[in-house]
Each structure stands twice: as structure tokens, then as C-alpha cells.
Amino acid sequence: MPKISSKGQSMPESPIRKLVPFAEKAQKQGKTIFHLNIGQPDIKTPQVALDAIAVHSLTTIAYTRSEGSEKYRTKIANYYSKHDIHVKHDDIIVTTGGSEALLFAFGSIMDVDDEIIIPEPFYANYNGFSVASGVKVVPVISKIDDNFALPPIEEFEKLITSKTKAILICNPGNPTGYIYSKEEIQKLAAIVKKHDLFLISDEVYREFAYDGIKHYSILQEESLAENAIIIDSVSKRYSMCGARIGCLVSKNKEVIKTAIKYAQARLSPPTLAQIASEAALDTPQSYFDEVIEEYVKRRNTLIEGLQKIEGIKVAKPKGAFYCIVELPIKNADKFAQWLLESFDVDGETIMVAPAAGFYSTPGVGLNQIRIAYVLNNESLIKAINILKQALKVYKD
């Protein structure tokens, strides 16, 4: 019988999606499920983006340029300028979601067996991207007791070897909601300059910053022109996850030149989705003001509710719409499956993401879950109660 590749066998399952079969079975049994497992916002997509698709005048849905249409990339550059990020359209490659931008970045700057340092917990698919690229993740552990603050720079320096090519951060962070301060970005800038590394920043949650905190991008550091790579996406910003449009941004001409070859190999990003994404850039600020106000409300409801549950530890997110929760259990995978298979409160249960998949260090995060607070307040209150009741009766 033909054999699957060792790379394929090593590809990790998504901790966010692997429980879907159990959820589907629970739904067939008539249960209502509150989905806290996935960052799919229930916020309405901006009407300008929906209208752009509805009224387009195309007679043929043709390829666009491999790097995305120049008109769209010019509008993206204008968007960045409003955030004090000064780039040109030819510093940008439009990709099929932020995921493809990450794959392009990995492929452009790293060879098989090279190393990338990532503060963990981190977005689970970073593990998958590294396996697909033959790259080794070297984790720097941040802790829930410190609200997942960036570990001391000395911890990064200890891990740098001749194989190290980059440091990757998610800012604001998925799954922690942590936002890196300007001072932390500057410390990272100093270390990548000192060791001649790349600094990749996944900034898809840029707008989602709370409590008066202002997001600071790595490309606001002018000294990083040759070292910085931004990963971005329309998915969360405009509640357009299904559009699958993202981008890779860098002032390093060799990075862009190399990444374009990957873009050419997959031909072009989706045409209609680019039309919608271009139109979304005209979304008024009032849209974001309302969205941020709503997420702050949801965050406060969730954190305050969780803090009242005995035995739970939770870090308060400052951005994005996720938090890590430590539970008084041994194995969150088993608990998450049990919630779907064997527990409900008046026919309702919750679906959560076990957090071990957001770490690369074996054995870490086994008693943690990630919660996405993408549901309305009423649903969140119900979900908190379900979790509280479940912990009262669950046996490891």
C-alpha cells in the first residue's frame, strides 16, 4: 500500500476544528451549541463590501496579477499610511488569506531545518505552517500568571543559533489577546538587527485594541526596513473570513521578489474577493468604533463571569477577541469532547478549543482552553453558566 509522507503524518490537527464531528453529532441530537472555539465574528460585513460584489460589472471572472491588482494594493498602502505605516503598493503582495502570506514568508526566508522563534501560546496554524515548510519552531514560553507578557529579551537571545532565521509574533495576539508595547517592539527590533534576523508580525487584529492602548506596528520602526515582514488579512477586520484575502508586506525588495514567485505558482488571488476587499477599505470609522465598543462589552462580560467560577484562572486580553482559560481539570481535549457528547444544560452546551494545540512544547497547556468571545452578550452569559455547571460534575 502506498505510504503517506512523514511530513503529512506530522501535520498537526487543528485544535479549533478537530472537534467538529462531535459538534455535528450533538446538533443532530437536538442540542444547541455555543461556538466559543473559532474566531468567526458574528459582526455584519460592511455593506460597501457586500454591495461591491452585488453590483460588479464583470462579464468574465478573470485572473488578476499574481501579486494582486495594483489598484487594490495602492488602496492598501493608503490604509497603512493612516496607521503611520509608510509603504508603497509594490511592497505588498495580495494573498489568499493571511495563511498564504505566512506560507509565502516561510518559503521565502527559510530552508528546511531552519528555526523560527515564537512566543507561545501562539496561533495553532503556525505549527502547521512550520511542518509544511520543514521549519523548526523554537518556543519562548509566556505565562498566564504574567498575562502572557513578552518574556525577557534574554530568553530570546539564549535560543538564537546559526539556524535561526526569524522571530514571529502575533500582535494583538491570538490566542492570548496580548498587545505588544512600543518598548517591546523596539527590544525585538534591536535583537533582530543585532543577529541579522527577520521579524514577522501577524497583525490581522490591528484594529482590535482596547482600554486606550494603541497598536504599534513593526513597520513603524524605520530601522527594520530590511528585517520586517507584516502578515495581514481582511478576515477579522471587516468580518470577511470567507473572502480569503490577506497580504504580505515588506520593504525588503528581495523578500517581495522571492514571495512573488510563490504567488505566481498559485496564479492569482480570488478576483471577486479582491473587489469586495477593495471596497471594504472605504468602511467608515464609525463601523470600527461600534465593533470595538461591542467587543469590549463582550470581553468584560466573559472575563467577569469566568473570574467568578471557582478554580478558574484567566488572563485579561487587551486586544483581538480571544482569551486563554486555565481550568481545574487535567485534560482539556477530553473535557471539550465530553461537553459535546455527554453534557448539556436544558439542551444547550458549548464548544471550546483545547489550548495544548496552541503550544509547541509537549505537555504544556493541557488544562487550558481558548475561548473566542465572538458571540453576543446573552449567549456569552449562557455559555459561562454552562461551563460553570459542567465543571461541577466533570470527572477527569
Q: Is the pLDDT of residue 15 over 80?
A: no
At 104-124, the pLDDT tens digits run 999 999 999 999 999 999 999
Nearest in space to 165 (alpha carbons), one of 204, 185, 137: 137
What does the block give as the cell for 249?
508586506
Q: H/E element holding 248?
A: strand 246-249
- Summarize the confidence of residues 12-34 as an average pLDDT: 90
Nearest in space to 272 (alpha carbons), one of 32, 103, 54, 14: 54
Q: What pLDDT score was predicted for residue 308?
A: 97
Q: Is the domain covering 60-280 a CATH 3.40.640.10 domain?
A: yes
Region(s) of the chain under CATH 3.90.1150.10:
6-44+286-393
179 band by pLDDT with thresholds 50, 70 and 90: very high
- 149 secondary structure, DSSP code: P
At 181-202, the pLDDT tens digits run 999 999 999 999 999 999 999 9
At 52-103, the pLDDT tens digits run 999 998 999 999 999 999 999 999 999 999 999 999 999 999 999 999 999 9
Range from 144-153, 250-259, 354-363 that averages highest in pLDDT: 250-259
CA distance 101 to 229: 10
Pairing of strands 198-202, 228-233: parallel
Do residues 231 and 248 make contact, with C-beta atoms less than 8 angstroms apart? Answer: yes
Q: Give the CATH number of domain 6-44+286-393.
A: 3.90.1150.10
At 287-298, the pLDDT tens digits run 999 999 999 999
Nearest in space to 108 (alpha carbons), one of 71, 84, 137, 133: 133
Q: Tell me the three-class secondary structure of 274-339, residue by residue.
A: HHHHHHHCCCCHHHHHHHHHHHHHHHHHHHHHHHCCCCCEECCCCECCEEEEECCCCCHHHHHHHH
**Other Cβ atoms within 10 Å of 349 Cβ, number:** 23
Beta-carbon contacts of 6 under 8 Å, excluding residues fewer than 6 positions away, are: none
Beta-carbon contacts of 365 under 8 Å, excluding residues fewer than 6 positions away, are: 121, 324, 332, 354, 355, 356, 358, 359
Q: Is the pLDDT of residue 152 over 90?
A: no
Range in 12-26, 42-56, 369-383 the model is least confident about:
12-26
251 band by pLDDT with thresholds 50, 70 and 90: very high
- What's the angle, vertex CA 352, arms to CA 330 and CA 179, rounded to 5? 95
Region(s) of the chain under CATH 3.40.640.10:
60-280
Backbone angles phi, psi at 333, to 5 degrees: -60, -50
- 249 secondary structure, DSSP code: E
Q: What pLDDT score was predicted for residue 12?
A: 87
Q: Is the pLDDT of residue 259 over 80?
A: yes
At 309-355, the pLDDT tens digits run 999 999 999 999 999 999 999 999 999 999 999 999 999 999 999 99
Range from 8-12, 54-58, 272-276, 392-396 that averages highest in pLDDT: 272-276
Radius of gyration of the chain (CA): 21
Q: What pLDDT score was predicted for residue 183?
A: 94
219 band by pLDDT with thresholds 50, 70 and 90: very high
